[in-house]
Amino acid sequence: MHVHILGICGTFMGGIAALARELGHTVTGSDSNPYPPMSTQLEAQGIDVARYSADNLDPAPDIVVIGNALSRGNPEVEAVLEQDLPYTSGPQWLAEHLLRGRHVLAVAGTHGKTTTSSMLAWILEAAGLEPGFLIGGVPQNFGITARSGGGKYFVIEADEYDTAFFDKRSKFIHYHPRTLVLNNLEFDHADIFNDLDAIKQQFHFLIRTVPGSGRLVINADDGELPDVLAKGCWSAQQTLSTETDAVCDWQLVNAAADYASFEVVHSGTNCGRLEWDLIGAHNAANALAAIAAADHAGVDPATSIAALQKFENVKRRMEVRGRINGITVYDDFAHHPTAIATTLDGLRRHTEDGRIIAVLEPRSNTMRMGVHKDTLGRSLNGADEVFMFVPDDQSWDTSTLAGELGEHLAIHNDVDALLDELMPATRSGDHILVMSNGGFAGIHDKILQRLAD
């Protein structure tokens, strides 16, 4: 079968391409501006990538898989409709070709989906279960974003974003999980959701798809999830908390200040101590969720803890890009005020000495719309200095953040100008934390090069 994928350079659609290729299909694709690393990864798999054009549909593929970044007016979308070619969405293709008949373990929530999914897949791999997975990042234990797997288990990062221009349901509605992790819930994706209640409704629809013999793993520390559960739940529930005095099924005790080690307790039984390279309370919660989900797949907690001892974090999640002249440069995907605050808190707990310099690109659609403008400044208070890149077409006045951050904030609409001010301000012992959900014009390498010079 010839599978042609529109929007193939997105992480999710690139994963679909890899899975289709692994299943033996002929795979081609197109995107607006194919660029590394996804374009080179696809080429290495023998997948041709072109720019959008109706010519890409000649000869006609057997099926066109359309990503959610595509809309009416795109030349290939219009050609698909005019020629009446068979088409589907990425989530629907995945459900029909990879997920049906398997035990799907889905990880949903505003934050932590990629990391928790990666932890869960690694635990199942270490237990010898050969899971398939599709994750919105690159788990470094695997080095790939997706694989079909050899067992009955499939781990999926369950995104609440919409499915396609012709299917406005959340992606995760298609996955029909047997094990569902609900990490947390906040307002995000303001470009498609009017308010938090609209997101809660989609989460309720997701819970409706979990069978009675399934399991929900719920973060009891989150204040919004109870509203979703109150709408209805037909499956077993297990709760988790990072608070030692919480009454729940899974919790941690005797945690180090930076959460680089802690003990896992399940139903009053101490399952062992986890010592690993990750930091932050958010990652400890992610670990508890992964351990609880793996338990539903028959993996005992001691085995999960041993696996996580060797867990290598996802690329772009507090990834150390380099250390030069006593200055450490990190790359982090944080693009929401809560994620920014928890990342800064984890780094502060881990590095009591040395300044933290935050370099932020508020790039997500929600950030650019100014939805989080009232909480963004407060979320950055954990940094000693903040350098922010804001493009000229930003839709809100970021200078208002000065009220929260004062002289510790520098705003630039040119990356090189930002670097010109950042470099003289650094000194040995500093931690430069770069945060963006995009490429940020290669700023990480530029910082390291300037430090080296």
- What mean pLDDT comes out for the span 199-223? 95
106 and 133, same domain (yes or no): yes
- What mean pLDDT comes out for the span 251-275? 93
- Lowest pLDDT segment from 107-111, 235-239, 370-374, 408-412: 370-374
432 and 380, same domain (yes or no): yes
What is the distance between the alpha carbons of residues 125 and 130, in angstroms, rounded to a whole number? 5
- What mean pLDDT comes out for the span 224-241? 95
Higher pLDDT, 374 or 89: 89
219 and 131, same domain (yes or no): yes
Give domain status of residue 95, yes or no.
Answer: no
159 and 298, same domain (yes or no): yes
324 and 283, same domain (yes or no): no
Convert the pLDDT of each residue in 129-179 to its tens digit: 999 999 987 888 888 889 999 889 999 999 988 999 999 999 999 999 999
Structural domains counted in the chain: 3
Paired strand residues for 386: 358, 409
CATH number for the domain harbouring residue 373: 3.90.190.20
43 and 170, same domain (yes or no): no
Q: Find the domain containing 108 and state its range.
A: 101-309
48 and 81, same domain (yes or no): yes
Burial class (CB in 10 A: 0-12, 13-18, 19+), 328: middle
Is the pLDDT at 191 greater than 80, yes or no? no
CATH number for the domain harbouring residue 264: 3.40.1190.10
- Lowest pLDDT segment from 201-215, 300-314, 391-405: 391-405
Higher pLDDT, 316 or 89: 89
On whether the CB atoms of residues 120 and 141 are closer than 8 A, the answer is no
Give domain status of residue 231, yes or no.
Answer: yes
- Whether the upstream peptide bond of residue 362 has omega within 30° of 0, thus cis, is no
Give domain status of residue 96, yes or no.
Answer: no
What is the distance between the alpha carbons of residues 9 and 29, in angstroms, rounded to a whole number? 8
Is the pLDDT at 366 greater than 70, yes or no? no
251 and 279, same domain (yes or no): yes
Question: Domain end: 284, 309, 334, which one?
Answer: 309
234 and 137, same domain (yes or no): yes
304 and 379, same domain (yes or no): no
Mean pLDDT of the chain: 89
Q: Token match 């499939």: residue?
A: 154
